[in-house]
Amino acid sequence: MLSTIALDAQVLRPGLCTGCGACQGLCPYWGSVDGRTVCFFDCERTDGRCQRFCPRMPTDLAALRKQFFPEETVLPEIGPFRGLYLTRAADASIRARAQHGGSMTALVELALKEGFIDAAVLTRSRGGLNPEGVLAATAEEVRACSGSSFQVPPTLAVLNRALKEDKFHSIGVAGTPCKTLAVYKMKANPLPGSDNHAGNIGMVFGLFCGWGLDWDGLNALAAKHADPEKVSHMDIPPSKYHSLELREDGEGTVSVNLDEVTPLVRSGCRTCADMTAEFADLSIGGARSADGWDTDKGWNQVVVRSEKGQRLLELAREKGVLEFKEAMEGGLEKLKKASLGKKRTAVRNLRELTGKAEDLGYLNPNRELFQDL
């Protein structure tokens, strides 16, 4: 059996924690300080929601996937798959504030309007710095969360509190792969006599993710190259640009060499084997096409994973909420290759961490899935 002492030893101390917040908002023992998860007190409980939900505690991914997705839809490189689309928000005002094409904002707003969900747990930041998790129940609140951050706030603490309150009964959740995995672990692991009301989770919207950055480190880096008060947007273009872009209101864009950025990658992200948020109804990332970055940065690629996700995307087309364009020939194969690359990196780093080729740490229940990497 497990306790918070085990969670501390198996996740925090080895540097596997992603800062997702799945262990927080449940009791006073766990919290977060500037993106760092902190265990304030030892707990002698032999089982608990904190360790059941943690995405870095050992998880049988194949069994979890089988519980929620038809096996025939699963691709080994990117998980459940029903289609790949290039989209952007039809509303220009959404696109103006968005990270890329605004598809996430438009889809969450539509899901709220059409009753797929009655609230959404999202991340809100100003220009990508000092983000926080919020519960949005109106279109205005959803739009206030446009844009992305490379810092990682404990967003799922907000979900845990909302589930305990039992006020909303179809909550949408948007998050990076570690967060969406944690949400599916919540859905699969209610505790008898202490139910977390996981049945109140309505939809899951995944975000493609390469890695997150150290909270204090990114603040310092932004201050070195720009005025943090003026930063309105940050992004990492395709690898050939080798840069982090900081956009300042009224001052243009500053490019920061990626060599200054990569040392800030969180240790927990170096052992993540999921690039495309494989546990979700819809997964959304920046577009990649033959049109080049100047065009692509205004579009998204969307992976449909579930029947509910398919229904919402079709409704977005029908109502003109999203604009669609033809996906690039070979786009799926490129996505699969990139995703497989992240899996290989995670496996290599886990082997270095454990010191044994056969020991994949938290991925041990899934050795067969990664045996050829």
> What's the CA dihedral at 16, 123, 165, 17 to 10 degrees?
0
Which helix (H) or strand (E) element contains residue 273?
none
Answer positive or negative: Cα dihedral of 93, 96, 100, 104: negative
Amino acid at 330: G
User: Which pair of tokens denotes residue 169?
Assistant: 């009964």
pLDDT in tens, 201-248: 999 999 999 999 999 999 999 999 999 999 999 999 888 899 999 999
Which helix (H) or strand (E) element contains residue 323?
strand 322-325
pLDDT in tens, 301-331: 999 999 999 999 999 999 999 999 988 789 9
The Cα 189–Cα 113 span in angstroms is: 29
Domain parsing of the chain, residue ranges: 4-212+266-370, 215-264
* Whole-prediction pTM: 0.95
User: Which residues, including other chains, have CB under 8 Å from residue 231's CB and lie 6 or more apart?
Assistant: 126, 127, 128, 129, 222, 246, 247, 248
Which helix (H) or strand (E) element contains residue 233?
strand 231-235
